[in-house]
Structure 1
Amino acid sequence: MLLLPISLLAQQKIEAVAGADTTSIRIGEQVKVQLRATIPAAQFNKPAFRILFPVLPDSLEHFEVIARSAVDTTTQQDLKILHQTFTVTSFDSGHWEFPPMKVEVYGATDASSFDTLTTYPLGIDVNTVAVDTTKAFKPIKTVQTVPWNIWDYWMYIAGGAAVVLLALGLWLYFRKRPKKVPEVKLPLVTPYDLARQQLKTLKEEKLWQQGDIKQYYTRLTDILRAYFEHQFGIAALEQTSEELLQNIKPVTKLNQQRDKLRALLAIADLAKFAKLQPTADEHEDCMQKAEEILEWTRPKEEPANASANEKPAV
């Protein structure tokens, strides 16, 4: 019972210990140096607590550091154990001491505390290769040539043959591949004809007569925007009304109908977004403006008796 408080006190200390898996190696052999730090969990979990393991250089006196493992953390009862392994070697024969390693500890007792833990040096014997001096020395052998063997180059031969076969196969494939017959494109509906048909369908559905004002103007403006996009290359479906009015300026025919288009878009925007209830005359007038814009910008038809090789005028 008298020794119990001393044992508990020892467990509350932060300790750093270094060890090696062997104390005797031959030149060039490797030895693993283990660095372990034991910290009470109560101190380890403090917000200001930090512990820094040493950063060993690649070369020490009589030793070379080959590899370093990451710092592992394990829990054992109420202790935190930090562990790191250094793989080192030596090319100098003799008895050498691996130098002490320093572990820096911050915030163990309070936020401003600092301490340095230093391990003991490790004694390692580096031995040379034993030579039997009782036997006679043998002369150095001359350089000998190895006889050529085709099987030593089978991978290169197989690779070259595969490349040749692949090239031959591609040549035969492209040579015998049937030529593609050009597709004959059927005449498509022109943007003008499509827009005229859509306006006719919209009139027959009588949306505004049924009270669906917002749907009527949404369909009406979408038909015009799609016509502008396909006929004149304007990204009308992605633009606001003001952006569309600005972008039609370079198109001469379309710009001449700008006032009609502005009036139509203004009423449509108010009906779609401000819940305006236009009159019956305004509904009919917007449809009439849309038809007039289509007719004004309708592309000219080529004469039926035009020569087949004659290019249309731009």
Structure 2
Amino acid sequence: MLINTKLLIFSLFLIWAANAVIPDATDTIPAALHPEIETGVDRNEILIGDVFNLSIVVTHDPSVQIVERGQDFDLGQFEIKTITPGNEERLPNGKIRKEIVYKLSTYFTGEFIVPPFDLTFQTEDGKTGTFRTSPIHITVRSLTPEESENLDIRDIKPQELLAGESRLPYVLAAAALLLIGLVTAYWLWRRYRKKQTVAPAQPPLPPHERAYRELADLRNRTDLIAERKFKEFAIRVSDIVRIYVQGRWGILAIDYTTEEILDEIDGLVLDGAVFKTFETFFSDCDLMKFAKHEPARDEATQLIDAAERIVDATKDEAMLTPMMIEGAEIPASRECTTVEQGED
């Protein structure tokens, strides 16, 4: 019995605590600062899917600020499409009148109530309070068969060409400007080109000077011999002499075999010792290139010495053109040289 009495007392305490009135912050704000609110709609009966306006008109003291809320609250069966804050209007009595329009819609039919919702205001001293809109009754109905038949549903209009100013004059003007620009650019280019002074071309090096220079470069390239790249070394020194022979006498030595080169050189009536030097030089080069002969370092550099002796012995010989070589003609200067050598 004692336990039941305690339970009864405890239950009564919980009921009292649940119904106890908690002081609201709004109660501490003077009544003169509480905003006045008017709630209305543009129509109370709509068709399903229609959008209607819920208008909230707030009149408040200038020292009070209305805190506008977003769309993140529930209005039952109604969906908030947009919220449009209206312009503020100062009344003759000094207060401010402001309208907020909520565009609502629903896709349910029947009798509904737009539920009231709270808005917040704030005073100059930072106190906040709330005020509530009024509930609004809305009837939502669907179309009757007669209304559906009378709906004026029109086909999509065909595309219409917008009448406007022709672009042809602008196109022609742009084309003319482009043509003028091209003509001007061409004229300036021609004028600049005439003013340019063409530097005289450097005369080519004589064959023997070119051969001396390339042989000196090859002698300084110690990497080929150090890395035992004898084939590459032989090809390089052989090409230097072949190019020299081609430049000196017009023999296409770069494309000839060794035998073909020696045949051509033999026809030049050179000194026998010089011809022997040619023969030994090309033979040693062929050994390195094709027989994979690996000479000693001194033997490899002796090829460069032999090439330089060839140039030394023939650099003063008369130069023949390729046409003269093909006709096997010896220039007068060559004939004179041969006669003089015979007399010696």
With the shorter chain as reference, the TM-score category is 0.3 to 0.5
Mark the structure with the bigger radius of gyration. 2
| TM, length-normalised to structure 1 | 0.36
